[in-house]
Chains A and B, each alone.
Chain A
Amino acid sequence: MDWQLLTTQLFPGGHDIVERDNFLSGTAQVDGQPVAVIGTTGHTPIGIEIALAQAQAILKTVQEHPGRPILILVDTQGQRLRHRDEMLGINSYMAHLGKCVDLARRQGHTVIGLVYDQALSGGFITSGLIASACYALPQSTIRVMGLPAMARITKVPEERLTELARDNPVFAPGPENYLRMGGLHGIWEGDLAGQLVRALGDATDEDRRMALGLERGGRLLAQPVAEAVRSGGHVRAA
């Protein structure tokens, strides 16, 4: 979905979000309260500059508007695959962004992620996936890597991966699979503005995604394994 159409639907109370080189930032009114909005658009790859720009916007919010909720709008084809990004330590830029989100959360800013178009791997793991909660629009796609690169690395033939991606929740790119595995808290249909208000109210500090994955039947072992390790118990057959 186009970000302008999206933000019109999300913020009937108005917003001043602007786009600069596929980086979105601004403030919106949600239920009469200001919310800081950052994000990306145009399926842009997340390179070191745009990761740093997002981090800066979050730190600025923490500094200037303590406690103000933050909405991260996700649309990316993943981390930028360039030698220069690797040379300069793109993993550090991504980690920095993730740490800024984490700090904001711990200092009382509710952080909501919304995948409104595409989310891929490295561009997603330190934005939506590190928020207090992450949601997606039904037509969005979320995945780890394109199948040709995946085939080359796993040595599994691309045809086999394509076949698996058709209906296997572990490989299929649709948001409903991430919902079942607990990676998404919900999928928003209909009244987006209302769902955002609810999400801001529902967000908790605790990372409950493993428990959600178990409850929803999409990730059966993560929660029992983590719990067995934590308590010194055994893993019951799922």
Chain B
Amino acid sequence: MSSYQELTARQRIPAMFDAGSFEEFLPPSERVASPHLAQLDAPVSFDDGVVVGRGKLDGKLVFGAAQEGGFMGGAVGEVHGAKLVGMLRRAIDENAHAVLLLLESGGVRLHEANAGLIAVSEVMRAMLDVRAAGIPVVAVVGGANGCFGGMGIAARCANTVIMSEEGRLAMSGPEVIETANGVEEFDSRDRALVWRTTGGKHRYLLGDCQVLVADESDAFRAAAIAAIAELRGGEVRLTLEGLLAEQAMLARRLQDTEGLQEPMDVWKQLGVPEPARVPMLEADAFLDMVAQYRATTGAP
């Protein structure tokens, strides 16, 4: 059993896709790097921090990407974003069975600020174009850098989000909030609080992540295969009914948590009997304990 979190993007691809099946588009040998980093004396990478391509997953043609958290935190710059968009458009051209996004990103790459912001919005639209073509999009969040900023939003544009407990999914990082509103608002050094607020278990309980697995690459792969099979049997496009159900879930969440500040109180409000035990549980024991309490849209 190997930890998914500890793998690099280039190790995650073969861990998730069928052995030897993945073909990378615009590989590092093409030497396409960011045009913006030199002016900040920042190093470049010949894949700009993301691997994109197509391969087989359980024998099916699946397009995919893996963001490299070790390069600028997986943040999206002009080239990084364009590679994702090109891959997503090609997935439609070639009628992919599904798209699998292995996300690990701080969001917009601030070194390319404006170009990065537009790029992330293009990625979101391209993801929704894939769904509109009837192709399921699955996002995996289990890297050490989490999935933040615009990519935290993009993850929630996928049909299914698969996380490990160690994965983190949010928008503004704790450091940003602490800088803006003080350590009393959010103590970014309080690791336990950071995980309670952004970690996989919390996201699963709220209904923002649909599948929680242990931090093992085999478990992520099996979950991705299962999620794609399930999605192929249903509606993956955005629908009015689906969004009305999501609207209701998000409205209910606001109502039910009024005045609450601590994630454990949110779990308690959901009905979880011993919220203090949640952080200590292994994935399977956690899933057993909370199955009946987690919030859902009641629709895919």
Contacts and interface: CB of A to CB of B under 8 A. Distances in A.
B231 interface: no
B30 interface: yes
B185 A82 contact: yes
Contacts of A182: 118
Contacts of B174: 86
A183 B116 CA distance: 11
Contact of B171 (A63, A79, A102, A172): A79
A152 B93 CA distance: 41
Contacts of B250: 48, 52, 55, 92-93, 96
Interface stretch (A21-29, A67-75, A216-224): A216-224
B250 to A, nearest CB: 6
Contact of B78 (A88, A207, A221): A221
Select the residue from B115, B177, B260 with max chain A CB neighbours within 10 A. B115
B79 A225 contact: yes
Interface stretch (A36-44, A143-151, A190-198): A143-151
Contacts of B121: 125, 129-130, 183
Contact of A96 (B26, B35, B90, B247): B247
A186 interface: no
Contacts of B39: 164, 168
B228 to A, nearest CB: 20
Q: What band does the interface of chain A fall in when counting residues whose beta carbon is under 8 Å from B?
A: 35 or more
Nearest to B90: A230
Contacts of A181: 114-115, 118
A52 B78 CA distance: 30
A161 to B, nearest CB: 9
B186 A171 contact: no
A178 B243 contact: no
Interface in B192-218: 197-198, 202-203, 206, 208
A18 interface: no
A94 interface: yes
Contacts of B169: 89, 91
B179 A86 contact: no
Interface string A195-238: 00000000000010110010000011111011111111011001
A62 interface: yes
Interface in A130-182: 130, 142-145, 148-150, 152-154, 156, 160, 164, 168-172, 177-178, 181-182
A145 B113 contact: yes
B294 interface: no
Contact of B179 (A59, A84, A148, A213): A148
Given A52-B250, A170-B36, A229 B90 contact: yes
User: Size range of the interface on B?
Assistant: 35 or more
A91 B185 CA distance: 18
Contacts of A96: 156, 243, 246-247, 250
A230 B106 CA distance: 25
A81 interface: yes
Contacts of A98: 124, 153, 157
Q: Which of B121, B155, B169 has the most CB of A within 10 A?
A: B121
B180 interface: yes
A221 B186 contact: no
B113 A143 contact: yes
Interface stretch (B7-15, B81-89, B270-278): B81-89
Contact of B176 (A129, A149, A171): A149
Contact of B153 (A56, A62, A95, A164): A95
Given A143-B113, A228-B86, A156 B122 contact: no
Contacts of B6: none
B114 A178 contact: yes
B229 interface: no
B240 A129 contact: no
Interface of A: 48-49, 52, 55-56, 59, 62-63, 79, 81-96, 98-100, 102-103, 106-107, 121-122, 124-126, 129-130, 142-145, 148-150, 152-154, 156, 160, 164, 168-172, 177-178, 181-183, 207, 209-210, 213, 219-223, 225-232, 234-235, 238
Given A90-B170, A177-B114, 10 more contacts: A59-B244, A62-B240, A79-B171, A83-B197, A91-B171, A130-B124, A181-B114, A210-B122, A225-B32, A226-B85
List the 8 closest pairs (A to B, CB-CB), nearest first.
A229-B86, A95-B156, A129-B121, A91-B152, A226-B86, A225-B82, A183-B118, A81-B180
Interface of B: 25-26, 30, 32, 35-36, 39-40, 52, 78-79, 81-83, 85-87, 89-90, 93, 106, 108, 110-122, 124-126, 128-129, 132, 149-150, 152-157, 169-172, 174-177, 179-181, 185-186, 197-198, 202-203, 206, 208, 238-240, 243-244, 246-247, 250-251, 253-254, 257, 260-261, 263, 266
